[in-house]
Each structure stands twice: as structure tokens, then as C-alpha cells.
Amino acid sequence: MHTISMTVFDWAILVVYLGFVVWVGFYLKKFTKTDKDYFLAGRRNSAFVAGVAFMSANMGALEVVGYAGQGAEYGLFALHFYLIGAIPAILFLGVFMMRFYYNNRIKSTPGYLKERYDEKTRVLNAISFAVMTVLSSGISLYALALVLKTFLGWNWDLSIWLSAGFVALYITLSGLLSAIFTEVIQFFLIWGGILLLPILGIIDLGGPTKAFASLPQVYTHLWSITGSAADNPMKLGWPALIFGLGFGISFGYWTTDFLIIQRAFSAKDVRSARMAPIISSYFKILLGFVVVGSGMVGLALMRDPNSGFTLLHTGGKINYDSVIPLLMMRFFPPGLVGVGVTALIAMFMAGQAGNMSAFNTVWTYDIYQSVINKNASEKHLIWMGRVATVVGILLSIVGAYWARSMPTIIDYLQAIASWILAPAVAVILLGMFVKWISPDGAFWGMLIGTLVSFAMFMALELGWITPGAIAPGGEASAMAANFWRALWAWLISSGIAMAVSLFTEKRPEAELVGLVRGLTRETEVEQVPLLKKPIFWASVTTVIFIVLNIVFW
Amino acid sequence: MIDSATQMKPIWYFVGWVLIAIGVLVFAAGVYYMLFPIDLDIALRGMHMSIWWGAILILGGVLLTVFNRKPVNV
């Protein structure tokens, strides 16, 4: 395969972007005076800025490149990851949960667990989150270097060290403040780089009607092919989609992963924080059409023998993840190549910066200040945040080399998220909505849920059980098994948390005001007009969500 | 100008400048390779997308910088 060739214009675009993100780090340093500035971006962002950053943190290259690959492999069915797999959870976060997260005493999701339950529950969650974040960051770096090497012919080591170096520089200087600034820029660059792909693809295929008609029915519907798992290319029945993806996986990620939620924490008030995920839901839907649409363009082109378009083959199998770079190679002239390549690098850096700004906050507040140095001054905490960023980046680089030496390890590491997030969402949801859940109940629920999820994963990997063993009905694909595993982890954590709470000491209700529904008044939206109420915009998204599911049924 | 530690230009102002800078480069590339074509195996090359997309980026950038040039207190 030949690589993408870059002209002087393309290089200049990349240099402008990289120069800008470094300048932002230095420029914002003078505004980073307190730990709140460094770890929470001063809590002064508007709902829109926080919403864009919220979305941008989710637009890492692993997501965009990966889901475009899913679109190329499974067609429109992959849009489920952007609809049932995202929208209900995002809206639930904005409408119901953010009010309890956004609190002057709380600076992270483990911080919520401390206020609602106790120190040991917080530390357990913080340690597992920190490990997950560093490993995810390492995988992201590995994937970046792989893309740059495959499609641009760049040196593997240089790609890793340079991109990690840029992220380390601007996050170390100004923390979440510069992370959010650059994420907003990256948001526009990413749209600028990928929005054209489905548009040009559809033109190339002869228009939307012709492009859609060129694909078999299993690639152009969402629900009519889910009556039985055997009816669709992803081998997922509707129960796995609704309960496994829609609840088990989606709620764990969107309502618990601090990497995403931290962006909403940067909002200037609780109403803006609640609006941030709701605003991002509109972008999420649009992104779904752009990303999955790009994949479907690749799918349609592959099926057209006259197009000359083929995806890469790795190990004898089609590498669907190659669809975005290969479409750029097919459609982008000089200039646009620079925007496309910069968008790809911006996606990786957005993911990396998101991981690092979340890691430095959780490490500093929830592990260092909580366990190691309880009396640390504000200045010392900022210093520790900077040290944590550099150490976190170095650990990610180690993770990237580890992933390179053991490519199969990536599958295991990505599964870590479901071991950690599904049990966490169980105890956080119970904490917010059930006032009698005790600290011991939450701790044991989260710990045992994590261990059970891990045990199920290993039993599947080692072939001790089949995917059907953990799926109702007895038949399931590997992906369906992932969805069901997350749901079981959630249910087991919830069950244990409730059972243990029956016999252990609860927190007094007076200490739970502002943290639990039923003990907290919704004062922040009492006086605002309808157009500023989170529930109004969440309702609009809900209508769009329902209409899209019906149209593409 | 942004000259104090208590006043910061809105984030959209910077987004605008980045879009302008990148838009100018994309537009220039489009014009240059229209005037001096090179042999590239690219679909839809007759559409000169770099010129159109560059112009859209510049327009978006100008609007963002013009409407967000006033600094805000931090």
C-alpha cells in the first residue's frame, strides 16, 4: 500500500495546530492560580463550552476510527452505539444525576463516593480509575503511532514521544483549563477533517438514494433485524441492545467515567453543568451519522467492483479500522489532507489529554490528598497535579510499548473499563436515588461486582464457558457477551450493595442533603425560562432520538 | 489584546483564528494545485474541494473572531 503524501501546505496546517496547542498551555498558565483553576478549569465555563468539551473528550480517535470501522463492517446497525448506546444515558446524566455530582465539595466522581459513602469506597474507585486511565492512554498512543506509521510512513517511536510530549506540555502547564481550550479547538478541527468524508462519498456513489440502495437490507436498518440475533451482521438481538448496550455498557461509560464528566464539572453553575451533556447529545447524534456514514460509504465502495476501493488486510482479515484513513486518501486533495491528518492527530491528543487531566485530578485529590498527604496546601496540590501529569504520560508511553509487544493485550485492556465502570455506576446510582444504601454496602457491592465481571471475562477468554452461558436464551456473539457481562456486573453490585446495607450502619440523612434525590430540592431551575431548562432540551433530544429510531427501524 | 491575568478573550476567539489560519492554507493549496496541477489519483478532483472547504473555514473563523473579540473577566 502506498502512504498518504503530504505537501508543504499540509505540513503547515499540522504545524499551525501543534504550535497553537503549545501556545495555549503557556498563555493559560497565568490564569491557573488555584487548584480549582488547574483541576476544574476555574469552574467558569458556559454550558456550551462545557458541552463541546464533554463531546470532544469522547471524540478520541479510538472511538471515531473504531466506530467508522464498525460502520464499514456492520452498516447502519453501528449507529446503535450513538443512539441507544449513548443518548438515554447522556440525558439521564444531565437531567437527574449532574445535580448531585456538581457540588462545591466534590471535584471528581470518586469524590462523590467519599461524600455519599466513605473514604474506602472513594479510594477503591480512584485507584481502579487511575489504572484504567493510564492503560487507556497507553493504548491510544499505541494506536496513534500505528496509524501514523501505516498511512503516513512515520517513525513509530518518534510518533509516540512527540505526541505524548505535546500533550504533557500543555496539560502540565495549565491542567484542565488548557485541556478544555484545546478540546474545543480540536472539536472544530475534527469536524473540519471528517465531515467531508460522507458528503464526498455519497456524491461519488451517485447520491444518497443510490448509495443507500446499493447496500443489502441488513446494512440499512436498526431494529427490524433484531428479532433474532442471527438476523443481523453483529449477531445482537434486541434484548442485548436495550439491556446490555443501553443500560449495562452505556450508563457505565456516560454517567460514571470521570474523563467525560470532568468537562461538565468545569461549568460555571449547576444548571450549566446539567446542560453540558444535554447539549453534547445533539453533537453525538450528528457525529454518529458522520462516522457511521463514512464507514457505510467505505462499505458501499467495497461492494462496487468498479470503484477500485479496498480496505487493508491484516493477518488475512479485513482491517475495517482502516476505512477513515483510506477514504481520506481517496477523496482528499492537498490542503484537505493536512486537515484530515491534523484531525486524526487532534483526536488522539484529545483522548490523551482527557485521560491525563482526569488522571491528575483523581490522583491528586482522591489518592494523594486523601491517603498520603491530607494537609497539602493549594500550591502543593497544583505541583502534585503537574508531577502526576508527567508521570501519567510516561506510564502511558510504557503502556504503548507494552501493547506493541503484545498486540492481543489490547482486547484485555479495553475490557478493563467494563470491569470498573459497570460496578461503579451501580453504587453511584443507588447512592443518588436510594438513601438507605450504606457505605459498607457500596464498598462490597463495587468490589465484588468488579471481581465477578473480571472472572466472567477470564472464564470466557479461557474457554471455560461459552458466550451463551451469560446471555439469556443461550446464544450470543462475543460482543453480546460483553454487553451482558456489564449488565450482570451492574446487577450483582446493586444486589450486594442492597443486601449488605440491610445489616450495616447508614449515613445520617442530614449528611446526605444535596447528594441524594428526595433530600435535595431542584432550586437551580425554578426561576429560569423554559428555553434554559435542561428538561426542555432533553425532551427535544428524546423526540429526535425516537424519530430516528422509527425512520431507520 | 489580552494583557492582564484577570481578562481573557473568549475561547471562540481563538477557535476563530485557528480556523482562519488553517482555512487560508487549505484555500491556498486548492488555488495552487488548480493553477499547477499534479498527477494525483483522487476521486472528485474536479470539484476543487480544498478551495470550497478553505473558504468555509475562513468564513467561520472570521465570524467567530468578530463576534467574540471582547475580553471577559475571569
Q: What is the DSSP letter of A154?
A: -
Question: What ranges make up the beta strands (E) of A6-85?
Answer: none
pLDDT band at A524 (very low <50, low <70, confident <90, very high): low
The rounded radius of gyration (Å) of the Cα atoms in chain A is: 23
Residue A35 has pLDDT above 60, yes or no: yes
Residue B38 is assigned to a structural domain of this protein: yes
Residues A223-244: what's their mean pLDDT?
Answer: 82
For residue A344, what pLDDT is reported? 87
Domains, chain A, ranges and CATH?
Answer: 8-551 (1.20.1730.10)
Q: What is the 3-state secondary structure (H, E, C) of A246-296?
A: HHHHHHHHHHHCHHHHHHHHCECCHHHHHHHHHHHHHHHHHHHHHHHHHHH
Residue B37 is assigned to a structural domain of this protein: yes
Task: Answer with the residue of higher pLDDT: A367 or B1.
Answer: A367
Task: Encode pLDDT of A475-515 as tens digits.
Answer: 667 777 788 888 889 999 999 999 999 999 999 988 888 88
CA A56-A60-A62 angle, to 5 degrees, is: 155
For residue B60, what pLDDT is reported? 94
B67 vs chain A: nearest CA distance in angstroms? 16
- What is the number of structural domains in chain B? 1
Nearest CA to A452 out of A499, A491, A425 is that of A491
Q: Report the residue count for chain B.
A: 74
Task: Encode pLDDT of A22-32 as tens digits.
Answer: 888 888 888 88
d(CA A180, CA A268): 14
Residue B1 has pLDDT above 80, yes or no: no
Answer yes or no: are the C-beta atoms of A392 and A363 closer than 8 Å: yes
Residue B32 is assigned to a structural domain of this protein: yes
Q: Do B25 and A332 touch (CB under 8 A)?
A: no
Task: Encode pLDDT of B12-71 as tens digits.
Answer: 898 999 999 999 999 999 999 899 888 778 888 888 899 999 999 999 999 999 998 888
A/B interface, count of CB pairs below 8 Å: 104
Residue B69 is assigned to a structural domain of this protein: yes
Q: Which of B49, B62, B74 to probe the A interface (max A CBs under 10 A)?
A: B49
d(CA A319, CA A103): 45
- Residues from chain A that touch B74, judged by Cβ atoms under 8 A, are 31, 42, 44
Q: Do B50 and A335 touch (CB under 8 A)?
A: yes
Mean pLDDT for chain A overall: 87
Residue B59 is assigned to a structural domain of this protein: yes
d(CA A424, CA A444): 11
For residue A214, what pLDDT is reported? 87
Residue B73 has pLDDT above 60, yes or no: yes
The backbone region for A46, taken as left when phi is positive above 0, alpha when psi lies in -120 to 50, beta otherwise, is beta
pLDDT band at A407 (very low <50, low <70, confident <90, very high): low
Q: Do B2 and A27 touch (CB under 8 A)?
A: yes
Task: Encode pLDDT of A289-321 as tens digits.
Answer: 999 999 999 999 998 888 888 888 877 788 888
Q: What pTM did the predictor assign?
A: 0.91
The alpha carbon of A194 is separated from its chain's Cα centroid by a whole number of angstroms, namely 18
Q: To the nearest whole percent, how much of chain A has pLDDT over 70? A: 96
Residues A241-260: what's their mean pLDDT?
Answer: 87
For residue A216, what pLDDT is reported? 86
For residue A245, what pLDDT is reported? 86
Q: Which of A339-353, A416-430, A434-448 has the highest mean pLDDT?
A: A434-448
Three-class secondary structure of residue A352 per DSSP: helix
For residue A476, what pLDDT is reported? 67
Residue B2 has pLDDT above 50, yes or no: no
For residue B3, what pLDDT is reported? 46
Signed CA dihedral, A258, A259, A265, A271: sign only: negative
Task: Name the interface residues of A facing B (CB cutoff 8 Å).
Answer: 7, 9-10, 12-13, 16-17, 20, 24, 27, 30-31, 33, 42, 44, 49, 180-181, 184-185, 188-189, 192, 196, 200, 203-204, 330-336, 338-339, 342
The DSSP line for A496-509 is HHHHHHHHSPPPPG
Residue B3 is assigned to a structural domain of this protein: no
Task: Answer with the residue of higher pLDDT: A1 or A422.
Answer: A422
Q: Which of B6, B36, B53, B59 to probe the A interface (max A CBs under 10 A)?
A: B53
- Residues from chain A that touch B49, judged by Cβ atoms under 8 A, are 196, 200, 331-333, 336
Residue B40 is assigned to a structural domain of this protein: yes
Q: Which of A336, A345, A349 to probe the B interface (max B CBs under 10 A)?
A: A336
For residue A431, what pLDDT is reported? 93
A533 vs chain B: nearest CA distance in angstroms? 24
pLDDT band at A2 (very low <50, low <70, confident <90, very high): low
For residue A474, what pLDDT is reported? 64
Residue B10 is assigned to a structural domain of this protein: no
Task: Tell me which amino acid residue B41 is.
Answer: D
For residue A470, what pLDDT is reported? 79
Beta bridge partners of A317: A314
**Nearest-CB residue to A185 (from B18, B26, B42):** B18
Query: ipTM of this model?
Result: 0.93
Q: Which of B24, B42, B59, B68 to probe the A interface (max A CBs under 10 A)?
A: B42
The alpha carbon of A512 is separated from its chain's Cα centroid by a whole number of angstroms, namely 29
Residues A158-169: what's their mean pLDDT?
Answer: 88
Which residue is listed with cell 472528485? B44
Domain that holds residue B37: 20-73
For residue A27, what pLDDT is reported? 85
